[in-house]
Chain A
Amino acid sequence: MEMSQNKDMIILDNLSKHYGTKKAVDGISLSVKEGEMLALLGVNGAGKSTTIKMLSCLTKPSGGTAKIDGHDVSKEQTLVKEIVGISTQDTAIARNLTVEENLSFMAGIYLDPKSYDKKARRERVEEILQDFKLDEVRKTKSSKLSGGWQRRLSIAMAMIGNPKVILLDEPTLGLDVLARRELWREIEKIKKNRTIILTTHYMEEAEALADKIAIMINGKIVMAGTLEELEEKTGQKGLENIFVSVAEGDRA
């Protein structure tokens, strides 16, 4: 995957989503450069998942624009869907299919048969099985996998189409510390050459993985930047302290 330096891959401009009178996302603006990982940090109900849903064309914005690689998520959904991979908050796997069948199915959906014949699709599945160390459970029914394995499979499924952009919605939610660390290593691996937005409410996760962090509170991005920039802006050390000071400041 070729990368042009400093190109904005994702641009949100005054993006908002209203459900009746409730403002789930309230006019957020930010940009994510190609190859960068942005962590959207916030408590439950902050608007992180709604933002991901808008970026993955699952819900239409009520206002503003969101562009991915220059394509508007409201107007060019087909083009956006081809370059975006998503791993949703729930694992979103076909539970009666084996790991290998889930990946083959997604390969059939995402890989264009003109460029990927049956053999090439099989090779891509093999590659992903190896990359994500899923080989040992390839014949296991997905419903029989542990939470950690299911999350890993979910991310592997998002990766099958070799997307330019990956959206990871709470990828480690509900996992124990060991499974979470294991998944962090997988996310670190896919980070290379890809633009990623990760939502999380685990401070240490955002700190460990992201290049940039955006703090969302009540549908608004109240602060964004690198960890160093956030520390400088708030005068606090560590993301947890930064988050608490920003959240309490917002409440006050």
Chain B
Amino acid sequence: MEAAITFERPGFVTRIKGMLGVDFYRLFHTPLFYIFLGIAAIIPALVSMGASAETAGMFTNAWQIIAAESPLYVISDMGEYANMNMVFLFGGIMVSIFIGHDYRSGYVKQLFTTHAKKEDYVISKTLVSAFSMVCMCVTYFIGGTISGTAAGLPFTVNAGSLLCAILGKMLMSLGWASLYTFINLIFRRKFGISIALCFVLGTGIPVIGAAALVGNSGALDIFLYGASVQACLSSDILSVLICLACSLAWTMIYNVLGSVLLYHRDVY
């Protein structure tokens, strides 16, 4: 006689817990994550050393290694770019490797066999990638503080603004993570394209290019790079809210697009 089989329909929380659990487990068990945390900590030191050797006087304050004084959509030299936004660049590479590894190892097949709801994958990857970028922000902050001290730069700052700047950049991690996840889902079979595209978008070149045409415009805050620039040393609670709104809006857009893509396209 046939044994009766019962199937419990897992709710969203149960499903996402499983997917997040495995992604976090992977994140903490992969050396890549720690390497990127290390890179995020070392970069500020390299930036400050470069500043003292080549462009002396570029940084007048240690916190400029973390964020620019005011929103700068038009970049005139690399020094203006070289702040915590660089985390989003490393984040793009890390997310590409993280998702790319899912596909190359074939593990994605295990995930999609047991997870019929493909949005679980997109949401989980976005959240875990955002978490990794937030961690990089923390190590960048630590690295920036140490290198600022080593370079003998002054630390004078409005603590609230600094906090808003760091918080704003951390919030932007979510939006960036969703963009990178989406790109990696589009080019899931072409790892090289994914990583190159994430790198290019992470530099903010499209927005910097647009800024070169329209100038320093707050309208660019609707884009991820624009809102990331908004989080500067003259930030206030409004900047944080702009970052939050922009990040959430793009996360929703990219997650919906990513889920639709996965539902309508083959995994391979």
Is the A/B pair a real complex?
Answer: no
* Chain B residues with a Cβ under 8 A of chain A: none
